[in-house]
């Protein structure tokens, strides 16, 4: 069986690909966590700040547009907000299981309050381990508001858009320590239904 083609090298066969490390992000490879090589920056941050920094980075690096932006999870916020802020620079977008500006409203409305609170505690514990200094922290409330405003005042223009979402249930992506922190009767079907509607 041939080794699978990784996304960035695969796309780089057809076009220029740029990726960057936001300050405070980590990459887990095997059993190791690698902290971003970017300079530490004051935390917490908002999506507007991330978009301004990405724009400045592209300008400083001399990478001319127009761009096709790809964003996974919270990166979907940044891609959509970048397109709203700099619409003349974006000609396409790929969203990969991207966060949505209504998820902070839709999930609590669809799930029992105690179940949603348990899920939020689990995500905080799994994604923000205490032993990594300068870890990125996003002001999610401000970021949700920023994207809601941008979606209203500067909706995406007609452009090529690809939305990729997982076919497996969300529970398949959560590490064992996260699953064990949730009630055994967590309503995964309701969670997955909301996620797919938002996608």
Average pLDDT score over residue span 70-92: 95
Q: Are strands 26-29 and 32-35 parallel, antiparallel or unpaired?
A: antiparallel
Query: What are the percentages of helix, strand and coil residues in the chain, rounded to 5?
Result: 45, 15, 40
- Per DSSP, 129 falls in state -
pLDDT of residue 76: 94
pLDDT at residue 89 is higher than 90: yes
Q: Which residue has the higher pLDDT, 132 or 85?
A: 85
pLDDT of residue 111: 95
pLDDT at residue 127 is higher than 70: no
pLDDT of residue 131: 58
Q: What average pLDDT does the structure give for the chain? A: 89
pLDDT at residue 176 is higher than 90: no
- CA 62 from chain center: how many Å? 25
pLDDT tens figures, 129-164: 555 667 788 888 999 999 999 999 999 888 999 999
Which helix (H) or strand (E) covers residue 109, if one does? helix 103-110
pLDDT tens figures, 22-71: 887 777 777 777 777 778 788 888 999 999 999 999 999 999 999 999 99
Q: What percent of the chain is predicted at pLDDT more than 90? A: 60
């Amino acid at each position: 069986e041939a080794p699978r083609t990784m996304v960035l090298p695969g796309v780089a066969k057809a076009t220029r690909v740029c990726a960057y490390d936001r300050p405070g992000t980590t990459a887990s490879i095997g059993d190791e966590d690698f902290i971003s090589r970017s300079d530490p920056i004051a935390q917490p941050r908002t999506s507007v700040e991330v978009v301004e920094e990405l724009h400045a980075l592209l300008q400083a690096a001399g990478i001319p547009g127009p761009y096709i932006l790809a964003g996974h999870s919270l990166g979907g916020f940044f891609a959509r907000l970048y397109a709203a802020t700099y619409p003349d620079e974006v000609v396409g977008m790929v969203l990969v299981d991207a966060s949505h500006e209504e998820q902070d409203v839709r999930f609590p409305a669809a799930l029992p309050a105690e179940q949603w609170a348990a899920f939020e505690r689990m995500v905080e514990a799994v994604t923000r381990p205490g032993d990594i200094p300068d870890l990125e922290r996003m002001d999610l409330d401000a970021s949700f508001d920023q994207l809601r405003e941008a979606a209203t005042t500067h909706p995406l223009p007609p452009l090529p858009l690809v939305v990729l979402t997982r076919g497996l249930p969300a529970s398949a992506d959560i590490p064992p320590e996260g699953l064990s922190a949730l009630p055994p009767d967590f309503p995964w079907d309701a969670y997955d239904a909301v996620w797919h509607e938002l996608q």
